[in-house]
Structure 1
Amino acid sequence: MKLLTHNMLSSRCIKGVSVGYPLKILAKNVKLINCDFDSEFTVRIIQKLDWNALWEAAESIGHIGDVPRNLSDVEEYEKNDEFLKKVHHIVLEVEVIEGELECPETGRKFPIEDGVPNMLLNEDEV
């Protein structure tokens, strides 16, 4: 599971959960997968991300590097290739292969196997 995917996942579909975001990552196996850098794509994706959730997710699995906690700390990030490459790395090249996602409200854990999060609910959770 790429951190880009994680940034979009929520457990609010569980009965009684109002937000369910961001899910906590409990990683057992993290892999780096190289992919071509595209600065335009990275700029567009940054604009759609929940920056705090991304930063916390990357930090929790030990892959934040020196990316600033606040996006506002980076002047004209759209033109800063060094910064964009770091974000590209976090969003697209860091992949959780095995582990769990944990709902912040209920503690319900969803498995991640072979890089795929299983967010299926039990009947009593719907």
Structure 2
Amino acid sequence: MRLLAHNMFSCNIKGVMNGFPLRLEVEKFVEKEVDFSVEFLRNIFPKIEWKALVNAARSMGYSQLPDAADSSMLNSDDFLKKFHHALLELDLEEGVLICLETDRHFLVNKGIPRSLH
């Protein structure tokens, strides 16, 4: 599961007021090379919850993203490469997504989150 997908998931259990972001507990992740597209990164940037991406990347041991980011940074090749790597190339293979509100655990097995119980 790429961090792009993680950034879009939330806990949808009945009664949950704020099921985003889900905390990651990483057992295994892999890095998969993905074609680099500046256009894609610039288009997806406004849709990304930055703090959630930074925390998820750090849970995988990747600490190259700045704590905060704004659209002016999209002109930096260095920033774009780091953003691309975190968003698209870090892939959670095995682990758990945890709802911070309910402490509900959703297993990730072979890169697929199991959100139904």
- Band of TM-score, shorter chain: over 0.9
* Matched residue, 1:69: 67
TM-score, structure 1 normalization? 0.88
- The counterpart of 1:112, out of the listed 90, 108, 116, is 108
CA distance in 2, matches of 1:4, 1:18: 22
Q: 3-state SS of the aligned residue for 1:71?
A: coil
CA distance in 2, matches of 1:45, 1:21: 18
Deviations 1:62-113 (A, max 9, x none): 1122x210104xx722211111011000000000000010011111100000
The one-letter code matched in structure 2 to 1:14 is I
Shift of 1:114: 0.5
TM-score, structure 2 normalization? 0.94
* Matched residue, 2:40: 41
Q: Is the 8 A contact 1:64 1:90 kept in 2?
A: no
* Matched residue, 1:124: none
Within the alignment, does 1:82 sit opposite 2:78 as a pair?
A: yes
CA distance in 2, matches of 1:85, 1:41: 12
Q: Percent identity?
A: 41
Shift of 1:44: 1.1
Mapping for residues 49-68 of structure 1, pairs under 5 Å: 49-65=48-64, 67-68=65-66
CA distance in 2, matches of 1:78, 1:107: 35
Count, aligned residues: 117
Larger-Rg structure: 1
CA distance in 1, matches of 2:87, 2:74: 16
CA distance in 2, matches of 1:16, 1:64: 34
Aligned-pair Cα RMSD in Å = 1.2
The runs of 4+ residues in structure 1 deviating greater than 6 Å are: none
Within the alignment, does 1:10 sit opposite 2:10 as a pair?
A: yes
Structure 2 spans left out of the alignment, 5+ residues: none
Within the alignment, does 1:32 sit opposite 2:28 as a pair?
A: no
